[in-house]
Amino acid sequence: MPDPFYESGLPRVLSRPERLLDRLVHALLPAPCLGCGRPLPAAGAPLNLCAVCRAALVPNPRQACAVCLRPLAAHALPEGYRCGACQQSPPAFDRLIALWSYQPPLDAVVRGLKFGRLDYLGRHLAEALAAGLGPRLAKHDRVVPVPLHWRRRLARGYNQAERIARPLAGRLGLPCVQALARRRGTPPQSLLGREERLVNLRKAFRVPRPEGVRGLHVLLVDDVATTGATLDAAATALKKAGAVAVTALVAGRTPLEPVLGDRGEDPTE
Ligand SMILES: [Zn+2]
Ligand SMILES: [Zn+2]
């Protein structure tokens, strides 16, 4: 997804007082529903969505690859069935879990979190993830957010993945650790071709203190999965550092065309 602050060249950096004022304004003004624009109750609403829009959140298709969640066109698949791509070259994460399909109105919530400075939506998403998936998530040892490129973090004032990961870890009673770091300034992915993008991504993450994840089951958290390439690259670094298992968790998975056997050409991340 294009980042208007980032794509426009130099990031717009808010000063600390500006950020505080920004948060105060968001806290005081009654917000409209992010899905349909109708006014919300003064006390606010989960995900800044009205009840109608919350009911319109789309679950992931049931017939999907057990690893990457790509929908599969078959009718009856055995439990744990993997798509052809995951059978041939599985990603570094053991499985991807998504609460919803990334389409309206979830896209508006995620845009609000990423570009609208509504950082509290991270907590709302964490609560939804814990309520919807709690028992599947609690068996991990550590919660690790996907780090943001420093320039984006500077422009945004926070890392949206961390805004989801921290309250989620709190709800699950697990430690949240910033185990991953971005390796260096890499050119914007949008300027690169698909192959370069993958090579570039594969080297993007490192684990500065491997002892923090060695021998552990890691719950790797991001807001959205598109191709899964970012999560794959982050999981590769965690596994290299000695993590025994990595579950990738996102609020939304970009809907992909159903396939039988092959992952096909994913849209770019
Ligand atoms: Zn609504
Ligand atoms: Zn798959």
pTM value is 0.83
27/17 Cα distance (integer angstroms): 15
CATH classification code of 58-253: 3.40.50.2020
198/174 Cα distance (integer angstroms): 32
Q: Which residue in the block uniquely carries the two structure tokens 């829009």?
A: 53
Domain ranges in the chain are: 58-253
Of all ligands present, the nearest one to the C-alpha of 232 is: 2
Of all ligands present, the nearest one to the C-alpha of 41 is: 1
**Which one-letter DSSP state was computed for residue 71?**
B
For 151-164, how does the pLDDT look when each residue is reduced to its tens digit (9 = 90+)? 888 888 999 999 99
Q: How far apart are the CA of 116 and the centre of ligand 2, in A? A: 32
Q: How far apart are the CA of 111 and the centre of ligand 2, in A? A: 26
Helices (H), ranges, the chain:
4-7, 16-28, 51-55, 84-88, 106-115, 121-137, 150-156, 160-172, 194-202, 229-240
- Specify the pLDDT at position 45: 93
73/260 Cα distance (integer angstroms): 6
Question: Over 50: is that where the pLDDT of 268 sits?
Answer: no
Q: How far apart are the CA of 67 and the centre of ligand 2, in A? A: 5
For 168-203, how does the pLDDT look when each residue is reduced to its tens digit (9 = 90+)? 999 999 999 999 999 875 566 666 676 777 777 778
Q: How far apart are the CA of 252 and the centre of ligand 2, in A? A: 16
Q: Which two tokens stand for residue 146?
A: 């996907």
